[in-house]
Amino acid sequence: MITEVDEALCVLLGRSLPEGTMVRLDPPKPTWETERPSNAIDLFLYGMHNDRDGRESGFADQRNDRGTVEARREPARRCSLSYLVTARAPKINEEHLLLSVALRTMMFTDSLPADCMPDDLAATGAPVFIRIADTDPGSLWSNLGMPARAAFAITVSTPFLPEPDTDIAPPAEKMRLDANQKKRAPGGPLAPSKPRQWVRTP
The whole-number pLDDT of residue 151 equals 93
Q: Is 6 helix (H, G, I), strand (E, B) or coil?
A: helix
CA pair distance 27, 21, nearest whole angstrom: 17
The whole-number pLDDT of residue 85 equals 95
Q: Please give the mean pLDDT across all residues of the chain.
A: 79
Q: Which residue has the higher pLDDT, 41 or 141?
A: 41
Rounded to an integer, the average pLDDT of 126-140 is 88
The whole-number pLDDT of residue 115 equals 93
The whole-number pLDDT of residue 8 equals 96
Do 148 and 96 touch, CB atoms closer than 8 A? no
Q: Which one-letter amino acid corresponds to residue 143?
A: N
| Percent composition of the chain: helix, strand, coil (DSSP 3-state, to 5) | 25, 25, 50
The whole-number pLDDT of residue 103 equals 97
Express as a percent the part of the chain with pLDDT over 90. 45
Among candidates 5, 3, 49, which has minimal Cα distance to 158?
Answer: 5
Confidence band of 77 (pLDDT split at 50, 70, 90): confident
Confidence band of 110 (pLDDT split at 50, 70, 90): very high
Confidence band of 145 (pLDDT split at 50, 70, 90): confident
Region of 125 please: left (phi>0), alpha (psi -120 to 50) or beta.
left
Whether the model clears a pTM of 0.75, i.e. scores above it, the answer is no
The whole-number pLDDT of residue 185 equals 56
Buried b (16+ CB within 10 A) or exposed e, 119-128: eebbebebeb
Phi, psi (deg, nearest 5) at residue 160: -125, 120
Q: Is 157 helix (H, G, I), strand (E, B) or coil?
A: strand
The whole-number pLDDT of residue 73 equals 60
For 169-193, the pLDDT digits (tens) are 555 555 666 555 555 555 555 555 5
Which structural domains are found in the chain, ordered by start?
Answer: 2-52+71-160 (3.30.2000.10)
Q: Which residue has the higher pLDDT, 4 or 35?
A: 4
For 30-70, the pLDDT digits (tens) are 777 677 778 999 999 999 988 876 555 555 555 666 655 55
The whole-number pLDDT of residue 47 equals 92
Task: Say yes or no to pLDDT of 198 above 60.
Answer: no
CA pair distance 59, 93, nearest whole angstrom: 52
The whole-number pLDDT of residue 11 equals 96
> DSSP letters of 44-111?
EEEEEEE-GGG---S-EEEE-TT--EEEEEPPPEEEEEEEEEEEE-SSHHHHHHHHHHHHHHHHT-SB
Task: Say yes or no to pLDDT of 102 above 80.
Answer: yes
